[in-house]
Amino acid sequence: MTRIQTALTVLVFLAVAFLSGLVVTLDGLLDAYRFGLDKRPVSGDVVIVEIDARSLEEIGVWPWPRRLHGDLLDRLTAAGAGQVAFDIDFSQASDRENDAALEAALRRAGGATILPAFLQLNSTGAADRQVVLTRPIERFAAQAWTGLVNADIDSRGTARGVFGGIDYEGEHYPAFAELLAGAAYSANHRIGVDFSIDAGSLQSISFSDVLSGSADLTALADKTVIVGATAIELRDQVTVPGYAILSGPALQALATESLIQNRVVRVSGPIPQAAGLVAIILFFSFAAPIPRWRRKRGSVLLFLPAIEIIAFVLQQQFAVALPTAAWHLALIVYYGLATIRELNMRALTAALAKAKTQNTEQILAQIMDDSFDGVIIAEPDGSILACNPAGYRIIFDAPPVEDLVGCHLGEALPTAFTGAVLPALEEAAERSGSAAVRDVEVGNGDNSKYVELTATRSDLTGAGPRTIITLTFRDVTARRQAELLAQVSAREAIAANQAKSNFLASISHELRTPLNAIIGFSDVITTMGRDQIPDEFMEYCQHINESGHSLLAMVNELIDISRIETGRHELNEERFDVNNFCSTIVRTVAGSPQAEGRHVIIRTDRGAPQLHADKRLVRQMVLNLVSNALKFTDEGGRIEIRTVLLPSGDLEIVVADDGIGIDADALDQVTRPFFQSDTDLARNSDGAGLGLAIVNGYIGAHGGHVVIDSAKGAGTTVRLHFPPERVFLPDHRPAAKSAAA
């Protein structure tokens, strides 16, 4: 059976075990066993007032008049009880007198009472049935807290805990136990009960004893009291791990105790279970497959108690329930497969032993002869036992001329190899399980040859030397020359890129001075009157001025790119209001000739965040994006600027248009300098393809990133993401802390 077949066999068995419910059943038994190993005492802070069989016999048939519950509440309040919780359904009104009596008692309790809410199916037609929340009637709910009392039942009908708080119709209903313990717990919307807490030690008092005054209520001072049905006749019973039966109030009391003692049980879930199965399958199928450990298969049984000890420690120390049944089953299957394998292998080994003995030497000799690598087998003292033809070619540059068997390595090998071979031989002989590797350079200059030497130790159990050293020689001249060439090419590429950046920076600075002069003089000429300058010359001068400004903008972009590539730009940071900032940009752009016939609008986040950044660079980024949007959006098109504060705390400045869009193949390249996605369109639009490259560099300098979404003919959306540490809310709190809160 191959490794894959072994793994598939285990997986098929586990699939059957899961589908048949065997895994779930075993996990339940193991879980209950762990809970019973080490019982914990209750805190003593929770007391149950039982609606027991004696109370039903003495007071009468259920349901009782609600004035009795009011009398009970008054007595418990007078005794100094800290909280009183009723696990009784008050979702329907009774007669006016009794409801008024209970309402008055709730009011006298001063809001220290908790009433239950239930999740249950409505009573409409079967096709329309849905889960609804049944709550106390309004006159009771207004005088008390409302908590959810549903038990969390698993597929086997066993209660593992109670529901956590839920949101229903715009209101939050905490769990009954959360209100009793004064501790919120909403992980996975479930409160896992620690059933190692001894339910039998919960303090309880009969309902009828409280009403009759025969019960000593002084012990209830500052205690949490749960009033509920424990009589079997009222059917408020649940099955818990170990197939024990608990009343609903007792389950709520244990849930409260779990919260009070910080012992809420968290089920590790399917991921650790699956990870454990994967680890077992990988280990026993690949890392240590059956052929390796079949003779020691008994040791696999030691994993079973080890797993349970780990699960028990996790449950008792950290309140983590770890499902282990699937792991046990997988180990047992591997034990069975190993046993079968051992029986088969013994028979097979006996049949093949003779054939292996006859063929091994011939196979090894053929492998040695056909090997591309040179191989020398030697004893630890250096005596040569064998050398293959490739070894002669690599070491001696010639076919075999004499038999090296019996010679010493130091005498038989050329001097160029001896200095590396002998130390490698000694290193390999001293340790087992690791290889000694050496690089040997033979010759000088263009005639150099590079050989990689590996020495490994093998400990034999048959006849002959107990230990041998295998020396493997591989000619790596071509690879080494390629590595050297790649290093030279990389250095040349770096130098060329640096030279390019330096040239761009230098020529850009040299161009900016005469351009400023051209722009300045053209500005002066355009201010002259029509009587001094003819109209046609005035028009020429305006063209010169506009072209100078365009060329200066391109030169400035080249300088910006140079600074970005060399990392020489510095941030002049300040904190500013992003919404006002974007509004200013919209007003500036909307009045430009480029925006004529296009709609430029802004939508800002209501949170009005502030940004700590280089305002000039942020302005340049947004203007570059808006300029691109205007350039590639036809008349009548729409350009939108948005600010969005994300739940993660990131701030987005978004520039979106409904223009021509960008090809999907070009999206990964548009932030590269001088790249233009559409050659024909680029000829009709000014610019050198540096705008998005500058935006990408500046947003990176702020620790953020740019995201571009576009499709041909469907417009383009560019998002600038600023990290949470740069974003501040109106009350000057960092957005990162707010998001975490």
User: Residues 629-644: pLDDT tens digits?
Assistant: 888 888 878 889 988 8
CB atoms within 10 A of CB 459: 9
Cα 563 → chain centroid = 36
Let me know if residue 25 belongs to a domain: yes
Whether residues 70 and 192 fall in one domain: yes
Q: Is the dihedral of CA 179, 180, 182, 183 positive or negative?
A: negative
452 is written with which tokens? 């990689």
**CA-to-CA separations, 355 to 111, 186, 347, 352, 363, in angstroms, rounded:** 90, 68, 14, 5, 12
Range of the domain at 443: 373-474
Whether residues 574 and 697 fall in one domain: yes
In the listed set 208, 243, 262, which residue is the last one of a domain according to the structure?
Answer: 262
Report the alpha-carbon distance of residue 667 to residue 680 in Å, rounded. Answer: 17
Whether residues 578 and 491 fall in one domain: no
Determine contact, residues 643/653, Cβ cutoff 8 Å: yes
Report the alpha-carbon distance of residue 534 to residue 735 in Å, rounded. Answer: 60
What's the distance, Cα to Cα, between the start and end of the chain in Å?
56
Total domains, the chain: 5
Least confident of 106-110, 434-438, 618-622: 434-438
Determine contact, residues 256/224, Cβ cutoff 8 Å: yes
Let me know if residue 36 belongs to a domain: no
CATH value at residue 680 = 3.30.565.10
pLDDT band at 370 (very low <50, low <70, confident <90, very high): confident
CB atoms within 10 A of CB 262: 11
Query: To the nearest whole percent, how much of the chain has pLDDT over 70?
Result: 77
Whether residues 614 and 713 fall in one domain: yes
Tell me the helix, strand and coil percentages in the chain, rounded to 5. Answer: 50, 20, 30
Whether residues 247 and 124 fall in one domain: yes
Q: Where are the beta strands (DSSP E) in 435-524?
A: 436-442, 449-459, 467-475
651 is written with which tokens? 């701030």
Let me know if residue 652 belongs to a domain: yes
Whether residues 226 and 95 fall in one domain: yes
Which of these, 553, 564, 498, lies nearest to 699 by C-alpha position?
564
Let me know if residue 73 belongs to a domain: yes
CATH value at residue 523 = 1.10.287
22 is written with which tokens? 């065997």
**pLDDT tens, position by position, 72-101:** 999 999 999 989 999 999 999 999 999 999
Whether residues 582 and 705 fall in one domain: yes
**pLDDT tens, position by position, 496-544:** 666 555 655 555 556 656 766 676 666 667 677 666 677 666 666 766 7
Whether residues 66 and 209 fall in one domain: yes
pLDDT band at 149 (very low <50, low <70, confident <90, very high): very high
> What's phi and psi for 726, nearest 5 deg?
-100, 0
Whether residues 660 and 732 fall in one domain: yes
Let me know if residue 34 belongs to a domain: no
pTM above 0.85, yes or no: no
**Residues 176, 182, 186, 191: what is their CA dihedral angle, to the nearest 10 degrees?**
-60
Let me know if residue 256 belongs to a domain: yes
Interior angle at CA 711, CA 705 and CA 712, nearest 5: 135
320 is written with which tokens? 């983590």
**pLDDT tens, position by position, 440-480:** 887 766 667 888 888 888 887 765 567 888 888 888 888 88
**Residues 223, 227, 230, 231: what is their CA dihedral angle, to the nearest 10 degrees?**
140
CATH value at residue 425 = 3.30.450.20
Question: Which residue type sits at 542?
Answer: Q
Let me know if residue 348 belongs to a domain: no
Q: Is the pLDDT of residue 579 over 50?
A: yes
64: which DSSP letter? P
pLDDT band at 684 (very low <50, low <70, confident <90, very high): very low
In the listed set 233, 262, 291, which residue is the last one of a domain according to the structure?
Answer: 262
> 409: Cβ–Cβ under 8 A, 6 or more apart, which residues?
376, 378, 382, 383, 384, 418, 421, 422, 425
Interior angle at CA 200, CA 198 and CA 201, nearest 5: 75
Report the alpha-carbon distance of residue 47 to residue 45 in Å, rounded. Answer: 7
Whether residues 615 and 628 fall in one domain: yes
In the listed set 423, 454, 474, which residue is the last one of a domain according to the structure?
Answer: 474
Determine contact, residues 607/645, Cβ cutoff 8 Å: yes
Determine contact, residues 256/248, Cβ cutoff 8 Å: no
Whether residues 62 and 205 fall in one domain: yes
Let me know if residue 353 belongs to a domain: no
Whether residues 602 and 703 fall in one domain: yes
